[in-house]
Amino acid sequence: MTAPVASLRGVHKRFGRLHAIDDIDLDVKPGEVLGVVGESGSGKSTLGRCLLRLLRPSSGRVTLEGQDITEWPERRLRKLRAHMTLVAQDPWAALNPRMSARRTVEEPLLLHTKLRRPQRRAEGERLARRVHLLPEHLDRLPSGLSGGQLQRVCIARAIATRPRLIVLDEPTSSLDLSVRAGIIELLAELRADTGVAMLFITHDLGTLRLIADRIAVLYLGRLIELGPAARVLTDPAHPYTQSLLSAHLPADPSVKPSRIRLAGEIPSPVARPPGCPFATRCPLVEARCHAPPPFAPAGPDRLVACIRVPEGTHRIAIREGDRGADAR
């Protein structure tokens, strides 16, 4: 079995009394796109930043290519920044408004390589072409570029040092649909050409259909389903994953959506309920759900944290007319 590029083992992250992520075990395999999905506040961004060691976990271990980097100080981590990079959600906020696109793309080359200035310039122009930017785009400030062009600059910067891992935190959420499709196509090209592993954080299941190999589903900071993208998207096992997919509008307008309506609100991460984190909203809840469910195998390469899955009683039945959901 091929060793993972990066791993989290038993990782918890707290901010005071707030539990952001809790007991996360996750591997990112070489060359794969691992999608991480969940509602706002589920801990997706915190997970990604712990994996990059931009945040130090409260407990647990973070490894990069077999090296335990959990306790590494920032000075030592600086040498690894060339190998693991981030593409943030908002390209306008991620770029220095006073730096040209050329300086932005060349900065990692200045920090992490021994290339001389003419070589950095040539490499920056090659990277711009690689992400489908024109040479004249490089000499513009961020204010002179569109949202899609800005995100391409961010991607060019992220791949400049040929990293092993890129964490993409909602990289298309601020872009319109046509630009979003171009960015997804670009990322697929880069993965095919370079073999870089990607952790793709999003709330958009439609995007994951296009790019992800596996999908990890987070709820209230806990990993509740993990498996091949095709299986998770066509046959969701956890009741929460079923509800997420039901909220996604079908591409065919003639298909009537079947929405699973959940009662209540997401519990506070400061005072989380015991047992299954989804128990307070799950249509299938019963008394035994208030004990912590194991994150257990549910078929080939698939893990689910729901005690009903082994029994086959985990499906939520949709009422006709989109009026809610009942247990079968």
- Same domain? For 240 and 323 the reply is yes
Instruction: Report the residue count for the chain.
Output: 328
In this prediction, residue 325 has a pLDDT band, given cuts at 50, 70 and 90, of very low
**Domain end (from 162, 188, 218):** 162
pLDDT tier at 221, thresholds 50, 70, 90: very high
Tokens linked to 220: 């209230």
Q: With respect to residue 296, please indicate whether it lies within any of the assigned structural domains.
A: yes
In a domain? residue 71: no
Residue 144 has pLDDT above 70, yes or no: yes
Indicate the residue among 130, 162, 194 that finishes a domain: 162
CA–CA gap between residue 87 and residue 142 (Å, rounded): 16
Name the band, by pLDDT with cuts 50, 70 and 90, for residue 2: confident
The domain tally of the chain equals: 2
Half-sphere exposure of 30 (CA within 13 A, CB side): 8
Q: Which of 162, 191, 213 is the last residue of a domain?
A: 162
Assess whether pLDDT exceeds 90 at residue 226: yes
Task: Write down the pLDDT at residue 266.
Answer: 85
- pLDDT tier at 223, thresholds 50, 70, 90: very high
Write down the pLDDT at residue 14: 96
Residue 318: which H helix or E strand, with range?
A: strand 316-318
The mean pLDDT of 163-172, rounded to a whole number, is 94
The reply to whether 150 falls in a domain is yes
- Contact status, residue 194 vs residue 15, Cβ threshold 8 Å: no
Residue type (1 letter), 79: K
313 versus 254: which is more confidently predicted? 313
Q: What are phi and psi of 326, to 5 degrees?
A: -130, 160
| pTM, 2 dp | 0.92
pLDDT at residue 244 greater than cutoff 80: yes
User: Which residues constitute the domain of residue 135?
Assistant: 97-162
Contacts for 34 with CB less than 8 Å, ≥ 6 apart:
26, 28, 197, 198, 199, 200, 212, 213, 214, 215, 216
In a domain, 173, yes or no: no
Is residue 90 a part of any domain in this protein?
no
Model confidence at 249, pLDDT cuts 50, 70, 90, reads low
Quick one: pLDDT at residue 11? 98
pLDDT tens-digit readout, 64-118: 999 999 999 999 999 899 999 999 988 889 999 999 999 999 999 999 999 999 9
Please report whether residue 279 resides in a domain. Answer: yes
Residue 293 within any structural domain of the chain:
yes
pLDDT at position 284 = 92
Please tell me which residue, 183 or 206, carries the higher pLDDT value: 183
Query: Is 80 exceeded by the pLDDT of residue 255?
Result: no
pLDDT band at 250 (very low <50, low <70, confident <90, very high): low
Q: How many CB atoms lie within 10 A of CB 162?
A: 13
Residue bearing the bigger pLDDT, 279 or 262? 279
For residue 322, pLDDT over 60 is answered with no
Tell whether 51 is covered by a domain. no
- Round the average pLDDT of the chain to a whole number and report it: 90
Of the chain, the end-to-end C-alpha distance in Å amounts to 39
Q: Which of 176-185, 187-196, 247-256 has the highest average model confidence (pLDDT)? A: 187-196
pLDDT at 328 over 70: no
